[in-house]
Chain A
């Protein structure tokens, strides 16, 4: 371990016989280290990295200051770069956006390329604005309509979907909003608990979920007196009032007897923002195209002539 010589390290340097190279002057357990210079290419590379680092610090933001950092002579910043990329994206989309803005939504199906672009854009907008209620796959959940199926409360053609999106559901302050109200038959004492049970039994027979019974037969009269005005005599609903079709297999608020009783007692009323206040018309058009494309979209020709023949969203 000990240095073989007591003199300063410089004096203890010696030439190694085997290699003709100077040693660094230390000895550890009989092992000495040769003082071999670094290869010149290595040193040049090292100096080059220093030069590069200085240049980099001057050119780019580098030194932290009290508030913020040095800006660098190139003026580059990550935020600026992001903004440039966003601007470039916007510019790239500008033509499509302009074409969509000029195109009445009724004519969109005649322009397949534009329609595809609209659906793609709508898919992105849906994931930002709509998934919170309707789910990532637009399948909805109890109380939130499934947008994939063929059952529509207010109608499923492009124009109607667009209108629903612009004005929302039950939005105060929007005169054209989708508005419908089912009375609190139970909570307000309009019907007795017995009548509610009877009408629930009847409603379940409409869609074949329950068999006709004495109770349901009595319920039929209660239905005709209180419900048919909105839901139609056959319970097929009405898109004019957004009254759900009660005779189909789709139940917005659940299809069990207790669900129907609960809805009759104190109805649940879904709401949707009037997106016309929040999103630009092009985005809404794209959203309408996307929702229409999910598998349940209707043609304009299929506008419901007699309300009772068309299915609507049921409770």
Chain B
């Protein structure tokens, strides 16, 4: 990381480009590390496992539990099937995701960054791969400094191969969300899948390989906008990883502190908090953009405090407000009390409100839909017996996985009769019935005729799925007629 005092313009030409200092973070165990493991396993399991869940939807719809069917413009999620005109469900979920981030950030700081962000999850995974091939911090540092030779090349190639395998699995899993997974898997390996699938896998493999394998914390610090936004989301009541400098400073080794019991703070300057940090920062310099709040430094510091017989929590989750209180010698506030405050409750109310609204909409939505487009050229046709005809294009939607019989009737247009291309004017009646195929939109051209002298007016097309009381829809339409001549 940049340290301003290290830049000495007299010694070397100033450059705006700071070369990356590689991060070799030490292995650490502790409760936050175990939490991180658990979340990583859950996230990866969800990501890799979800497309393989099955959900029986009968013969007319795919049996994949979660499927974004772009070709047919459908989104399936377990028992829910979203059509393109219902995209507000997706918009609502995206808004909930956004407000959820606000909620989490204002309550517990950058928890998203530290535990659940894909960049964090994959970086963490790749760092374990590093450790497996190159050893822990010092060994990796030595190997990094070592000249290129057969041994180093072999290790690097092996490691990068594993990187590539993980990246390929990552990119490969993504495509299964967009097509039936078992079918696509077979097509993919036999070379008959759509070129888009191969291109997607290639792009995602490349990005995972580069971003997770090599760029790592640079993505968080330089590329990701979220830390900048989070800086605005955090306030003095948000839980963040804090070094309690009033307790730790001035730093002194165990030996020094033993000789002078009152001169030194609790920090023994062992640098373990820096050694374990996946972004390579020194938390003792205060809150900073490179800190993703993964709390591995807390694990490291707690272990050292335990070994030296000092109270844990020199580095700990604390709010800036609490830091002031603790500095003044008062006991810290309970974390639950910190989380439940007006700001977080407001976020939670908005978030929950949207969620409940979506659930309500989902529960009350009908699977039948009618839209009407009127022919405007010509607006009306005068027939030989003086009656007036208008033509409409109706679209009947059957959003269920079985064919259904639907009836179209006319409301508010006295004497109107309806017929269609396949019915014929002779059989015109007050209603039309159609069987709409499963999961389809059917287009229907309908003619409406009214007796001579009927004025132009508004009326309603009514669509009713036969035998299903709640499954209906209406659409307003205009009937045009000749005016005074």
A-side residues, CB < 8 A to B, are 18-21, 135-139, 146, 148-151, 208, 245, 248-250, 255-256, 293, 295-296, 311, 314
Contacts and interface: CB of A to CB of B under 8 A. Distances in A.
Nearest to A313: B384
Given A18-B9, A18-B14, A295-B447, A135 B378 contact: yes
B13 A20 contact: yes
Nearest to A311: B384
A245 B381 contact: no
Contacts of A296: 381
Contacts of A149: 381-384, 389
Contacts of A255: 485
A134 B385 CA distance: 22
B2 interface: no
B384 A151 contact: yes
B164 interface: no
Contacts of B378: 135, 137-139, 146, 148
A42 B485 CA distance: 75
Contacts of A249: 382-386, 452
A245 B384 contact: yes
Given A249-B452, A295-B389, A295-B447, A148 B9 contact: no
7 contacts: A135-B378, A139-B377, A148-B381, A248-B385, A255-B485, A295-B391, A311-B385
B13 A137 contact: no
Nearest 9 interchain pairs by C-beta: A137-B377, A139-B378, A248-B384, A249-B386, A311-B384, A20-B13, A151-B384, A137-B378, A148-B381
Interface string B415-445: 0000001000100000000000000000000
Interface in B467-485: 485
Nearest to B9: A18
A311 B425 CA distance: 15
A17 B168 CA distance: 50
Interface residues of B, number: 19
A150 B14 contact: no
Contacts of B485: 255-256
Nearest to A136: B377
Contacts of B425: 150
Most buried by A among B14, B381, B383: B381
Contacts of B382: 146, 149, 249-250
A21 B377 contact: no
A248 B387 CA distance: 10
Contacts of A135: 377-378
Nearest to B381: A148
Interface string B361-397: 0000000000000010110011111100101000000
A136 B378 CA distance: 9
Which applies to chain A's interface (DSSP): helix, strand, loop or mixed?
loop
Contacts of B385: 248-249, 311
A196 B391 CA distance: 39
Given A19-B13, A248-B386, A250-B382, 13 more contacts: A18-B9, A19-B14, A21-B13, A135-B377, A136-B377, A138-B378, A149-B381, A151-B383, A249-B382, A295-B389, A295-B391, A295-B447, A311-B384
Nearest to B377: A137
Contacts of A256: 485
A122 to B, nearest CB: 15
A296 B419 CA distance: 13
B85 to A, nearest CB: 26
Nearest to A310: B384
A146 B384 CA distance: 11
Contacts of A311: 384-385
A271 to B, nearest CB: 23
Contacts of B381: 139, 146, 148-149, 295-296
A250 B384 CA distance: 6
A245 B386 CA distance: 13
A158 to B, nearest CB: 15
Contacts of A293: 421
Contacts of B14: 18-19
A182 B385 CA distance: 24
Contacts of B447: 295
B408 to A, nearest CB: 18
Contacts of B421: 293
A16 B386 CA distance: 95
Nearest to A293: B421
Nearest to A140: B378
A101 to B, nearest CB: 25
A148 B386 CA distance: 14
B244 to A, nearest CB: 40
Contacts of A20: 13
Nearest to A19: B13
Contacts of A314: 384
Nearest to A208: B386
Interface in B233-278: none
A260 B391 CA distance: 30
Which has the most chain A C-beta neighbours within 10 Å: B375, B384, B425? B384
A150 B377 contact: no
Contacts of B9: 18
Contacts of A137: 375, 377-378
Contacts of A150: 383-384, 425
A275 to B, nearest CB: 23
A212 B383 CA distance: 24
Contacts of B13: 18-21
Contacts of A146: 378, 381-382
Nearest to B419: A295
A247 B28 CA distance: 99
Contacts of B391: 295
A256 B9 CA distance: 99
A34 to B, nearest CB: 10
A118 to B, nearest CB: 14
A135 B375 CA distance: 14
B432 to A, nearest CB: 15
A256 B381 CA distance: 19
